Amino acid sequence: MDTQEGACLPKLSRVAVCGGTHGNELSGVYLIKELMKRRREADDEEQPILVLSNPRAAQQCLRYIEVDLNRCFSHDALNAPLSDSAPYEVIRSREINAVLGPKGSADSVDFICDLHNTTANMGLCFISCSDSDWISLHIFKHLQLCIPDIPMRYLHFDLSHDEAYSLDSVGKHGFAMEVGPQPHGVVRSNVYTTMKTALELVLHWIRLFNCGTVFEGGPVDVFTLVKHVDYPRDCSTHDIVAAIHPLLQDKDFCLLNPGDPVFQTFSGETITYNGSESLYPFFINECAYYEKGIAFSLSRKSRVNVPSLRANRDQSR
Amino acid sequence: MDTQEGACLPKLSRVAVCGGTHGNELSGVYLIKELMKRRREADDEEQPILVLSNPRAAQQCLRYIEVDLNRCFSHDALNAPLSDSAPYEVIRSREINAVLGPKGSADSVDFICDLHNTTANMGLCFISCSDSDWISFRKSRNTGCPLKSVLCHIGPTFLSFSASVSVFRFARWCFVTFPRCVFTAMEVGPQPHGVVRSNVYTTMKTALELVLHWIRLFNCGTVFEGGPVDVFTLVKHVDYPRDCSTHDIVAAIHPLLQDKDFCLLNPGDPVFQTFSGETITYNGSESLYPFFINECAYYEKGIAFSLSRKSRVNVPSLRANRDQSR
C-alpha cells in the first residue's frame, strides 16, 4: 500500500545469499564459504540462507561444467520438461528453484543477493531486471551513503520477471552484486573486502527495514542495457581479429561517443564506434563474454526518483 | 672462442617463436596467429619458425587439456617411454621436440622465444633456466649453449633500444633464472587468463620484434658492448595458508603485497589477509624479491608467490663467430 509520500512493502523475512554461481569468480566462492564457516545459531531472522550455487564448478575452478548456470532461471527454462541427459547446471537450477523458489510463487524467498566477479573495471555494480524494485534501489542508495569511496552503479536489464534468466530473479526481490576488476580464478583482497563490506551493508539495510525504519526517497542514476557489441571476427575461423582499444580498456561507464576508438586490430589499426548515439559502455573485456560474442555492452543513463520506503507494519510477510 | 675483452658465439641460424603453450594466455596465442598470417616467403634466416604450441588448449581457451605442456620438456620427461594412454600434452611435447630439438643435440634450434602471460604485475620478464655455472662464459663455450649468454645481452640491448619506445614505460624488465631446469620464456603481465589486453599484446609484439631485430644484428656481425645485468634468481615458493582438512586456501595475497612484484619483501611485512580479515606476515629471515604474486595458474601448484635474490652479472661483449654459420 503506497502512502502519498512513499511506498510500503512486506518485510523481507526470508533472505538468501548465493556465491559461486560461476565457479571461478572467487570472491563470491570464498565469501560464501567464510559465511558458512561463521554461521551463528542465533535468531533466524538475522540468518540469511547461504548457497554455494555451483559446487562442482567451484571445486574445479571453472565458470560452469556444461552450461552457464546463471542463464537457467527464466520461467520457461525452469518449467521445461527435464530429460535424462539434462546438463548438470539445468538439474542444479531446479534444485535451487526448489529451495529458494519456486520462482513466481508466494513461497519464493523475499530477497536474493547473488555474488559475482568480472574482469571488467566496473567497480561495484548491482544488476537487476527491474528499474522500479524499490527494495533494490534503496539498498543501492544506502550503500552509496555508507561507502561513498567505492565506485558503484545500478545496472538495469529490461526484462520481465518471467523472462529474467539469472539466479537472483528466483526471489521476489534481488540483484546480482558484481565486483571487478578481478581475473577469474584469482581472489584479490581489495575486491573480496569490497564484496564483503557491501554484503554486510545489504544485510544491515534489510535488518533496519524489517525493524520499521523509514528510508527517505531520492534520485538514483540507473544504467539500462541498450545493446551488446561483438569483436570484429575473421569470417572463416570466427577468431577475434582485434582487442579492446587501449583508450576504451578499463573505461567502464565513461561516455562513449560516435567516432571514439573501440578496437585495435592485432596488426595495429584502430576501429571506431559507429553508433549514432553516445552511450555508456560496461562489461568491457569481460573474459566470459568472448564466447557469448560480447566485447562490451552499451547502456543509457536515466534518473529514477525512488519514493520513500518502509516495511508494512500489519503483517510479517 | 672468447677474446680477452668478450665472447664469440655461433650465429643463431635457426630461431623459433612459440605461443599458446598455455592456451588461455591470449597475447601469445593471437600474436603467433598474427605472425603466421603475415609470414613472408623471403630469406629463411629472417624467418623464425612459428609454433602454436598447444592448439587444442588454445581452441578451448584452457591452460591445458590434461597436463601442463610447459612442464614436459625436461630431459627425463622427453626420453621416458611413451604409453598408449599418454596425455595429449606429453604426445605434443614429443612432436615439438622432434621439430625444434631434439633437446641437447646439435640439431636443436639455436634460439627459442616462448610467449606467456601472467595475472601477476610482472611487466615484461625473461624467464630462463641455467646450470649453476652459467655465469662463467669460458665454460659456456664447452656446454655449447649460446642461449644463456645471448639472453644476457638482450638485457642491455633492450635498455638502449627501449629508451625511445613508449610502450616500455609500462614494462619492467627483469631476468629471472631457475637453477637446474632449462627453458626460456617471455612473460608479460598483468593480464587475466582468457583475456587479451591491447597494451599487453603490444608490449609483447614490440618486445618480440626487438628480440628478432637483435638476432639479425647479431648474425650480421654486430659487436654488442658488455655491461651489468641485474638477475633475479629463484630461492623458494610460498604457498597460501590452507585449511588442514579441505586444503582450501584461507587467505588472499595481502593488499600491501598485491601488485608489488620485484619490490623488496622484508621479514615482518604483510603477505596474506585471511578471509576473516587478519594479517599474516612474512616469517623468513632474509629480505627477498617476490614475483608471480597471485598468479592464477599457480593456486593449484601451491604457489601464492615466489621469492628471488637479486645479483648483478657483468656480461662481456658479444659477437657472432665469423668462421662458421653455426
Mean residue pLDDT of chain B comes to 81
The pLDDT assigned to B183 comes to: 41
Inter-chain touch B299–A61, beta carbons under 8 Å:
yes
Residue B102 clears pLDDT 50, i.e. is over it: yes
Q: Measured between alpha carbons, how far is B68 from B289 in angstroms, rounded to an integer?
A: 26
A189·B38 Cβ contact <8 A: no
**What band does B46 get if pLDDT is binned at 50, 70 and 90?**
low
| Least confidently predicted of A4-18, A255-269, A273-287, B44-58 | B44-58
Give me the pLDDT at residue B40, please. Answer: 60
Helix, coil or strand: residue B129? strand
Judge residue B166's burial from the number of C-beta atoms within 10 Å of its C-beta, 0-12 exposed, 13-18 middle, 19 or more buried.
exposed
* Residue type (1 letter), A25: E
Q: Is B22 annotated as a binding residue?
A: yes
Q: For chain B, how big is the Rg over CA atoms in Å?
A: 20
Burial class (CB in 10 A: 0-12, 13-18, 19+), B270: middle
Confirm or reject CATH 2.20.25.160 for domain B236-306, answering yes or no. yes
CA dist., res. A259 & res. B81, Å (int)? 59
pLDDT attached to residue B258: 98
SS3 B71: helix
pLDDT at B161: 41
pLDDT at A45 over 90: no
Q: Assess contact for A114 and A166: CB atoms under 8 A.
A: yes
Q: Does B296 touch chain A (CB under 8 A)?
A: yes
pLDDT tier at A152 (50, 70, 90 boundaries)?
Answer: very high
Q: Are A261 and A282 in contact (CB under 8 A)?
A: no
- Phi and psi angles of residue B143, each rounded to the nearest 5 degrees, phi first: -75, -10
Q: What is the mean pLDDT of residues B110-123?
A: 92
Q: Where in chain B is the domain with CATH 2.20.25.160?
A: 236-306
Mean pLDDT over residues B117-141, rounded? 62
For residue range A180-232, what is the model confidence (pLDDT) as tens digits? 999 999 999 999 999 999 999 999 999 999 999 999 999 999 999 999 999 99
Q: Give the whole-number percent of chain A exceeding pLDDT 90.
A: 92
Comparison of pLDDT for B144 and B215, the residue scoring more: B215
Q: What pLDDT was estimated at residue A169? A: 97
Residue B233 per-residue DSSP state: E
pLDDT for B198 beyond 60 = yes
**Residue A111 CA neighbour count, 13 Å, CB half:** 28
Q: Residues spanned by CATH 3.40.630.10 within chain B?
A: 6-231+314-320
B255 to A187: CB separation less than 8 angstroms, yes or no: no
Distance between A229 CA and the closest CA of chain B, angstroms: 16
Of the listed ranges A77-81, A106-110, A234-238, the least confidently predicted one is: A234-238
pLDDT-based confidence at residue B5 (cuts at 50, 70, 90): low
Tell me if chain A has a CB within 8 Å of the CB of B270: no
Least Cα distance to B119 among B242, B22, B209 occurs for B22
Query: Hey, which bits of chain B come out as E strands?
Result: 6-9, 15-19, 49-52, 111-117, 123-130, 173-179, 184-189, 227-238, 251-253, 270-274, 279-281, 289-291, 305-315, 317-320
Residue A40 in contact with partner chain B when CB distance is under 8 A:
no
Q: How far is A316 from chain B (nearest CA, A)?
A: 33
d(CA A118, CA A155): 14
Residue A172 and residue A104 in contact, taking contact as beta carbons nearer than 8 Å: no
**C-alpha distance from B30 to closest chain A C-alpha (Å):** 7
Beta-carbon separation of A189 and B273 below 8 A: yes
Looking at residue A315, its pLDDT comes to 57
Report the C-alpha gap between A107 and A97 in whole angstroms: 11
Q: Would you state the pLDDT for residue B134?
A: 31
**pLDDT category of residue B291 using cuts at 50, 70 and 90:** very high
Under 8 Å CB pairs connecting chains A and B tally to: 90
Residue with the bigger pLDDT between B272 and B312: it is B272
Which strand (E) or helix (H) includes residue A302?
A: strand A296-306
Look at phi and psi of residue A153 and say left if phi exceeds 0, alpha if psi is from -120 to 50, else beta. Answer: beta
Comparison of pLDDT for B133 and A85, the residue scoring more: A85
**The pLDDT of residue A277:** 97
pLDDT in tens, A247-267: 999 999 999 999 999 999 999
Backbone phi, psi, residue A267, to 5°: -100, 5
In angstroms, what separates the C-alpha of B296 from chain A's closest C-alpha? Answer: 5
Closest residue to B194, CB basis, from A33, A264, A287: A287
Q: Which residue has the higher pLDDT, B226 or B212?
A: B212
- Neighbouring-strand partners of residue A6: A308
Lowest-confidence region among A132-136, A162-166, B100-104, B236-240: B100-104
> Any idea which residues of B carry the catalytic annotation?
187
ipTM above 0.85, yes or no: yes
CA distance A16 to A161: 18
Question: Does residue B162 surpass a pLDDT of 80?
Answer: no
For chain A, count helices (H), then strands (E).
Answer: 6, 14
pLDDT on residue B149: 40
Which member of B30, B33, B252 has the closest CB to residue A188? B252
SS3 assignment, position A36: helix
Does the annotation place B46 within a ligand binding site?
A: no
Is the pLDDT assigned to residue B135 strictly greater than 50?
no
Would you tell me how many other CB atoms lie within 10 Å of the CB of residue A188?
23
- Whether chain B has a CB inside 8 Å of the CB on A190: the answer is yes
Q: What is the mean pLDDT of residues A279-294?
A: 97
Q: What is the CATH number of domain B6-231+314-320?
A: 3.40.630.10
Mean pLDDT on B80-88: 95
